[in-house]
A = this chain, B = another copy of it.
Amino acid sequence: MNNFDFKNPTKIIFGKDSIQKLEAEIPNKAKVLLVYGGGSIKKNGIYEQVKSALSKVEVIEFGGIPANPEYAVLLDALQVIKEENITYLLAVGGGSVIDGTKFLSAAALFKGDTPWDILSKNIRTEVGMPFGTVLTLPATGSEMNSGAVITRKETKQKLGMGGPGLFPKFSILDPQVIASIPKRQLANGLTDAFMHVLEQYMTYPMGALLQDRFAESILQTLIEVAPRIIKNPKDYVAASNFMWSCTMALNGLIQKGVPTDWAIHGIGHELTALFGIDHARTLAIIAPSHYRFNFEAKKDKLAQYAERVWNIQEGSIDEKAKAAIIKTEGFLHELEIDTKLSDYTQDFEGTAEEIAKRFTDRGWLGLGEHKNLTPDKVETIVKMSY
């Protein structure tokens, strides 16, 4: 097990009808910017629940944060924060709204020349404007971590940011919100959380026995609840375990003391930037090729995953490992998540070369847990995913 530090101060308020507890979490004298997305919260009743719980504080609204939160839109919100002397942010939405709110939290108190520096120069945020979240779409885990990914359309970039100042003060997780989420988004959320776990688990065995079992626990739970959620998103047992699994998949716990990969995300982000493919689906496109290309380096862990998560007990290490990749593809296909780039676009020629060139230009010369996935290897992985 590697040495690690772990601290996660976010307060989770989990369960039925928990949105009404919002009132107790926001200081009375706060001036709140309520940040949300495309307006689905006005159709499913969440907006009314939030407004009702906020009746005692002053609230300004900023809707319209798009999926893959867009820098230009966030700059508009930042202007509102400054003009209105906002003191507290409340994200009501999924990962995109929460990530956008984290950018606003950082940018609102940023002392540098331009908030773009936070992203382009990768400046850690030690103290941000305080914010809470009401999660409406389980998937990214952003509700209990301190990271965010922001998109800039004009340059087709997706860049990460973070820092200890960007943990939400609180996050409200009411699994009942899942009932009104469209199937496509539920499938994306299940895939996203599953891939988050794999990025932190599918490397090589290194004696972090408890972390491995926790990661396997989340994978097993997602596999168990996925068909139930897709069939009936009002199934509270399935919904609550789905929601808590998504949070635990990326709140820092399972990555402590272990090597992590994240190459799938690195490559996947480019597919979103180039083609606008849903984030989760880009991961599903890249993961199988990635595991096949890096088979020798990952086969021991793939075999462990085969045994413990998929109950594949027969065969050699190689056979189990290969079977596990096929099982993973099968799981995604059951969710109606396609796993080839050509399922999403016919305009894929040249994509591998383009992504490799971007990584070279950016100086990303070694991805993955061994930092040895050079741009030419990335090119091969992307071609295998066509």
**Is A11 touching B1 in the complex (CB atoms < 8 A)?**
no
Interface membership of A330, Cβ < 8 A:
no
A256 and B225 contact, Cβ closer than 8 Å, known pairs A210-B217, A217-B213: no
Interface membership of A368, Cβ < 8 A:
no
A27, chain B: closest CB distance, angstroms: 17
A16 to B3, alpha carbons, bound, how many Å?
Answer: 7
In the complex, chain B residues whose CB is within 8 Å of the CB of A236: 1, 207
Closest to A5 in B: B13
**Is B248 touching A210 in the complex (CB atoms < 8 A)?**
yes
**Is A7 touching B12 in the complex (CB atoms < 8 A)?**
yes
**Is A244 touching B7 in the complex (CB atoms < 8 A)?**
no
Interface residues of A in 214-228 (CB under 8 A from B): 214, 216-218, 220-221, 224-225
In the complex, chain B residues whose CB is within 8 Å of the CB of A7: 9-12
Closest to A249 in B: B210
A115, chain B: closest CB distance, angstroms: 28
A244 and B1 contact, Cβ closer than 8 Å, known pairs A14-B256, A209-B221, A210-B221: yes
Interface residues of A in 1-50 (CB under 8 A from B): 1-16, 18
A19, chain B: closest CB distance, angstroms: 12
Interface membership of A282, Cβ < 8 A:
no
**Is A8 touching B8 in the complex (CB atoms < 8 A)?**
yes
A308, chain B: closest CB distance, angstroms: 10
Interface membership of A191, Cβ < 8 A:
no
In the complex, chain B residues whose CB is within 8 Å of the CB of A241: 1, 207-210
In the complex, chain B residues whose CB is within 8 Å of the CB of A218: 210, 213
In the complex, chain B residues whose CB is within 8 Å of the CB of A224: 209
Closest to A21 in B: B5
Interface membership of A240, Cβ < 8 A:
yes
A147, chain B: closest CB distance, angstroms: 18
**Is B257 touching A207 in the complex (CB atoms < 8 A)?**
no
Residue in contact with A237 in the complex, picked from B1, B5, B214, CB distance below 8 Å: B1
Residue ranges of A at the interface with B (Cβ–Cβ < 8 Å) = 1-16, 18, 175, 207-211, 213-214, 216-218, 220-221, 224-225, 236-237, 240-241, 244-245, 248, 256-257
